Amino acid sequence: MLVKTVMTENVKTLKETDTIESAITMMNAYNIRHIPIVDDERHVVGLVTDKDINLALPSILSKETNVTMDHDLKEIMKKNIISTSEYDFVEELAVDFHQFDLGAVPVVKNRKLIGIVTQTDIMSAFIEITGMKHPGSIIEIDVFDKPGIVHDIGHTMKELNTRIVSITIYDNREKPNHKVVVLKINAMNPQRVIEALVDKGFDVVNPYRME
Amino acid sequence: MLVKTVMTENVKTLKETDTIESAITMMNAYNIRHIPIVDDERHVVGLVTDKDINLALPSILSKETNVTMDHDLKEIMKKNIISTSEYDFVEELAVDFHQFDLGAVPVVKNRKLIGIVTQTDIMSAFIEITGMKHPGSIIEIDVFDKPGIVHDIGHTMKELNTRIVSITIYDNREKPNHKVVVLKINAMNPQRVIEALVDKGFDVVNPYRME
């Protein structure tokens, strides 16, 4: 899935000379948690998150007044922001989000801001591409790793006239050279499919089979 | 992927009568952002996050002293916590994380705490099952939605002796009854695979083909 499919366009932005109060007002008004800070050419010079704001605010448990609200955003914004392009793959951008513990990444084109992608957007994209919001069932199969696995499983599903929502594959940590295939199908009751897979010699590991 | 595969066991916990200071010390010592609050039977009665702490702390921009540090955690903890079981599928739990904007979910067994799953763990699981950390290439194919798609693509990959890292499928928002298949293969240069797919009549939409 491309970044442009999931990014929010019409990003709300502020300048580094705007106040903390203006950022709080904007976050509350639009229910957002990340505000790119741009210069007059729409180049991204920083990013302010709700975490930056919370650290700047007085304690909710104290009676201190809001003395900090008129400080400039440049006092609390993060600099040296990682950005992405609209034609990058979301799945690959997710690795950066995870590795660098990012909350949001601005999308730029010719160095100008054109959108923003948040961790929530990335999670939403993964849920969509793995079909987890579609009704259906998950079956996990342990397989020896070789080319043709997807073909063989796809063949069995085609024979059963069962639609595959997604197939993902991860290393089986307990068995060297083995993979676990996660098969999401559009059948609410997977029993018929599990039985067909077992009949063909597949090792269905989850859900646990009731004997 | 099961929750027990990704959860952290040996969860650090505190009691609701412990102080905010003890939570800050624990978060810094173990580099964690979520602490389940348990009673003497290890039942989860609350959850304290770094966000709860940040909102309780004095402003980083003020000279106020840390008068709030000795308050009880029960003053700031969240209650009515969503929990999960070790045999739930991570992919399905992800939908709850997204829907309820969760940062972490305690894992319970017989109502006692046995682990914790964070949003970072969920992201990590998605990256693993979609194979995004494996070297290789992503190809997106537009297809008319019918059973057998995975079989047909799997067949072509088997002929090319190309290993499929994952296949995920999402609705094409621009074409009714069409899906976009996201194919991750273990080939750094996807050109040969793209040409074989095009030869068989597949509509490869990304990466854009250079003519």
pLDDT range class, residue A62, cuts 50, 70, 90: confident
**Spatial separation of the C-alpha atoms in residues B140 and B169, rounded to whole Å:** 9
Quick one: pLDDT at residue A188?
84
Quick one: pLDDT at residue A59?
81
Same domain, B167 and B114: no
Residue B116 is which amino acid? I
- Please report whether residue A132 resides in a domain: no
- Please report whether residue A13 resides in a domain: yes
A15 pLDDT higher than 60: yes
- Mean pLDDT, to the nearest integer, of A117-142? 92
The more confident residue out of A53 and B59 is A53
Could you tell me which of B196, B113, B105 has the C-alpha nearest to residue B152?
B196
Which residues in chain A (160-199) have CB-CB distances under 8 A to chain B? 161-171, 173, 180, 182, 184
Beta bridge partners of B166: A168, B184
ipTM over 0.95: no
Same domain, A44 and A99: yes
| Residue ranges making up the domain that contains A193 | 137-206
- Other Cβ atoms less than 10 A from the Cβ of A148: the count is 17
Same domain, A158 and A71: no
- Mean pLDDT, to the nearest integer, of A12-41? 96
Same domain, A97 and A173: no
- Mean pLDDT, to the nearest integer, of A137-161? 90
Could you tell me if B21 and B57 are in contact, meaning their C-beta atoms sit under 8 angstroms apart? no
**Spatial separation of the C-alpha atoms in residues A55 and B61, rounded to whole Å:** 8
> Smallest CA–CA separation between A11 and chain B, in Å?
21
Task: Count Cβ atoms within 10 A of the Cβ of residue A19 and give its class: 0-12 exposed, 13-18 middle, 19 or more buried.
Answer: middle
**Spatial separation of the C-alpha atoms in residues A130 and A166, rounded to whole Å:** 5
Cβ contact (<8 Å) for A128 and B98? Answer: no
CATH number of the domain that residue B118 is part of: 3.10.580.10
Quick one: pLDDT at residue B211?
42
pLDDT tens digits for B56-112? 888 887 776 666 788 999 999 999 999 999 999 999 999 999 999 999 999 999 999
Which of B97, B149, B166 is facing A168, going by the closest CB pair?
A: B166
Same domain, A36 and A109: yes
Q: Give the end of a domain, one of A107, A127, A147.
A: A127
The tally of CA atoms less than 13 A away on the side-chain side of residue B157 is 27
Radius of gyration of chain B (CA): 24
> Smallest CA–CA separation between B169 and chain A, in Å?
5
Which residues in chain B (107-166) have CB-CB distances under 8 A to chain A? 119-120, 122-124, 126-133, 138, 140, 147-155, 157-158, 161-166
Same domain, B98 and B192: no
Same domain, A24 and A118: yes
Region of B193 (left: φ > 0; alpha: ψ -120 to 50; beta: rest) is alpha
**Spatial separation of the C-alpha atoms in residues B99 and A175, rounded to whole Å:** 34
- Please report whether residue A121 resides in a domain: yes
Same domain, A69 and A157: no
Cβ contact (<8 Å) for A91 and B132? Answer: yes
- Mean pLDDT, to the nearest integer, of A15-27? 96
- Please report whether residue A89 resides in a domain: yes
Same domain, B116 and B146: no
The DSSP-derived string for chain B is -BHHHH-BSS---B-TTSBHHHHHHHHHHHT-SEEEEE-TT--EEEEEEHHHHHHHSPPTTS----TTTTSBGGGT-B-S---B-TTSBHHHHHHHHHHHT-SEEEEEETTEEEEEEEHHHHHHHHHHHTTTTSS-EEEEEEEE--TTHHHHHHHHHHHTTPPEEEEEEEE-TTSTTEEEEEEEES-S--HHHHHHHHHTT-EEEESPPP-
- Please report whether residue A186 resides in a domain: yes
Same domain, B122 and B181: no
The more confident residue out of B64 and A142 is A142
Quick one: pLDDT at residue A95?
94
Q: Give the end of a domain, one of A127, A146, A179.
A: A127
- Please report whether residue B132 resides in a domain: no
Same domain, A28 and A58: yes
Same domain, B151 and B100: no
Q: Give the end of a domain, one of A101, A127, A153.
A: A127
Q: How many domains does chain B have?
A: 2
Q: Could you tell me the sign of the dihedral formed by the alpha carbons of B150, B151, B154, B156, in that order? A: negative
Q: Give A-chain residues touching B51 at CB under 8 angstroms.
A: 51, 54
- Please report whether residue A211 resides in a domain: no
Angle at A93 between CA A89 and CA A97, to 5 degrees: 160
Check CB contact of B45 with chain A, cutoff 8 Å.
no
**Spatial separation of the C-alpha atoms in residues A205 and B144, rounded to whole Å:** 32
pLDDT tens digits for B111-156? 999 999 999 999 999 999 888 888 899 999 999 988 888 889 999 9
Cis peptide, bond prior to residue A147, ω within 30 of zero: no
pLDDT tens digits for B172-184? 888 999 999 999 9
Radius of gyration of chain A (CA): 24
Cβ contact (<8 Å) for B51 and A55? Answer: no
Cis peptide, bond prior to residue B190, ω within 30 of zero: no
Could you tell me if A58 and B57 are in contact, meaning their C-beta atoms sit under 8 angstroms apart? no
Check CB contact of A56 with chain B, cutoff 8 Å.
yes
Residue A131 main-chain phi, psi, to 5 deg: 70, 25
For chain A, give the percent of residues with pLDDT over 90.
72
pLDDT range class, residue B210, cuts 50, 70, 90: very low
CATH number of the domain that residue A172 is part of: 3.30.70.260
- Please report whether residue A65 resides in a domain: yes
Which residues in chain B (16-35) have CB-CB distances under 8 A to chain A? none
**Spatial separation of the C-alpha atoms in residues A129 and A88, rounded to whole Å:** 16
Q: Give A-chain residues touching B170 at CB under 8 angstroms.
A: 1, 128-129, 131
